[in-house]
Amino acid sequence: MRNKVEYYQACLSKIVLFLHRAGILFAVDQENDLNMAVGNGNRERIIILGAGFAGLRLARNLNGTDYEVLLTDKHNYHMFQPLMYQVATARLEPSSISFPLRKVFQYSKNVDIRLAEVQHVDTEHRIVRTSIGNYPYDHLVIALGCRTNYFGNRHIEENAFPMKSVPQAMALRNRILQTFEDILMVEPAELQSHMNFVIVGGGPTGVELAGAMAEMKMNVLPKDYPGVDFSCLTIYLVEGSPHTLNAMSEPAKKKSQEYLEAMGVKVMTGTTVEDYDGNTVRLKNGQVIECKNLIWAAGVIANTLGGIPAASLVRGNRLKVNRFAEVEGLSGVYAIGDIAYMPTPKYPNGHAQLAGVAIAQAAFLAANFKRVKKGRPRLEYEFRNKGTMATVGKHKAVVDLPGFSFQGRLAWLTWMFVHLMLILSVKNKLIIFLDWMMSYFANDSTLRLMLKADRKD
């Protein structure tokens, strides 16, 4: 009789666990819920919030392990952000830099996917509350990344164009292409405001976008609109620090600005945008630019998550973690990628919010999870910088490697090779490579399509 009771209890426990993981069973007493859904001889569950560079790499590295992994994101795809500017400038299609999550884990036996908005974390009972249900965890990894930071300026937020997601890149592409259609009809007095493009932020995103638009001005627009004089099309790049690519080496800073200015971009360093109402850009130095299109690439701020105590947050809403990636003051909660602030001996002020850092932290955390399963001690994290790079245009790029830097054609080829290798699927690698080769030889692309989602024709 006792064996039968234990058997039925075990079956009930498995049923409850299944319903929880399917997002079906929500309203159960939390304490009983936790006891029944976690443990009882089942594999430890790791919930990963966010499928960016950090979250996706962690899930991939834990694929095939003894952990049960649940990867959540509000999108059903991972996007390769470093090439987002090429989507915005009609060089690549969004599908070329986006990868379905379920395809990545199509044959996985321990990684599951849920599309959901994370609403709150109950760190006491170890439960994640989402838009589709509640999920208990043994270990929680926060990899929610960052969003665009407008520094509290509501006017800029309402009128500027950001570029942090595929939909935003597509919206920017549509706006750029529509602007060139509009200039055929505008009054002469309004022409220049349509011809002015202001890009705010002189980091890699801003520099690469400015270079791509300059090449579009030189090679593409005169052929698409032969009756329009594009000599008055002006691309401004506004940067608050003294240099473009301020986080890179001195040669890279200097050369990147030289490249941009040679391509006709007006680089304005040492100043910031104070306000923008959709028609007029006002700079801190007093200059005013009439402009219909302001593109904001000036900074990011970490995404927030309900249930995380304020004591765990530092500047920029980042989560302070120790060298094991554990969030300070919380048991079983980790943070990696852009959202994590991890001081180390080599990086006492934390690490840069770059893809390379996110990937390295994810690989490190996965290795520690595996070491724990084998009964081995965990290792402390220290980032090994393998280099940074940025491209400005055809044959124009800058690369910083440990100990030396180089620029020009070789740097440009290096940039292309590294980014191509980071693309997930062979199919996407081939598509991007072919698009790049056609663009290289023809100085043109055939992707200038305005695609707007609508139920009507």
**What is the tens place of the pLDDT at every residue in 185-225?**
999 999 999 999 999 999 999 999 999 999 999 999 999 99
pLDDT score of 307 = 95
Measured CA to CA in angstroms, residue 365 lies from 86, 140, 152, 162, 326 at distances of 32, 12, 34, 31, 10
Q: Sorting pLDDT into bands at 50, 70 and 90, what band is 445?
A: confident
The pLDDT value recorded for residue 174 is 95
Higher-scoring residue by pLDDT: 34, 456: 456
The predicted pLDDT at position 120 comes to 96
Predicted confidence (pLDDT) at residue 361 exceeds the cutoff of 70: yes
Q: How confident is the model at residue 455 (pLDDT cuts 50, 70, 90)?
A: low
pLDDT in tens, 44-86: 999 999 999 999 999 999 999 999 999 999 999 999 999 999 9
Does an H or E element contain 364, and which? helix 355-373
Domains of the chain, residue spans = 2-147+301-373, 154-298
Tokens 């001195």, located at residue: 250
Q: Which H or E element spans position 320? A: strand 319-320
Indicate if 154-298 has the same CATH topology as 2-147+301-373.
yes
DSSP label of 304: P
Taking the CA atoms of residue 286, residue 290, residue 294 and residue 296 in that order, the dihedral angle to the nearest 10 degrees is: 0
CA-closest candidate to residue 17, choices 32, 45, 38: 38
CATH number of 154-298, picked from 3.30.300.180, 2.60.40.10, 3.50.50.100, 3.40.50.2000 = 3.50.50.100
- Going by pLDDT thresholds of 50, 70 and 90, the confidence category of residue 416 is very high
Q: Which CA distances in Å does 152 have to 274, 301, 330?
A: 11, 11, 29
Does the global pTM surpass 0.85? yes
193 residue type, one letter: S
Q: Scanning the structure block, which residue is given the tokens 């075990």? A: 10
Residue 176 has a pLDDT of 96
- Cβ-proximal residues to 318 (8 Å cutoff; 6+ apart), any chain: 302, 338, 339, 340, 341, 350
What distance lies between CA 324 and its chain's CA centroid? 23
Q: What is the 3-state secondary structure (H, E, C) of 126-173?
A: CEEEECCEEEECCEEEECCCEEECCCCCHHHHHHCECCCCHHHHHHHH
Query: Does pLDDT of 26 surpass 70?
Result: no
Q: For residue 428, give the DSSP letter.
A: H
Q: Which superfamily, per CATH, for 2-147+301-373?
A: FAD/NAD(P)-binding domain (3.50.50.60)
pLDDT range class, residue 21, cuts 50, 70, 90:
very low
For 452, the token pair is 């707007």
Average pLDDT for 288-307? 95
Q: In this predicted structure, what is the pLDDT of residue 113?
A: 97
- Res. 42: pLDDT tops 80: no
Integer-rounded Cα radius of gyration of the chain = 24
User: What is the rounded distance in angstroms from the CA atom of residue 339 to the CA atom of residue 434?
Assistant: 35
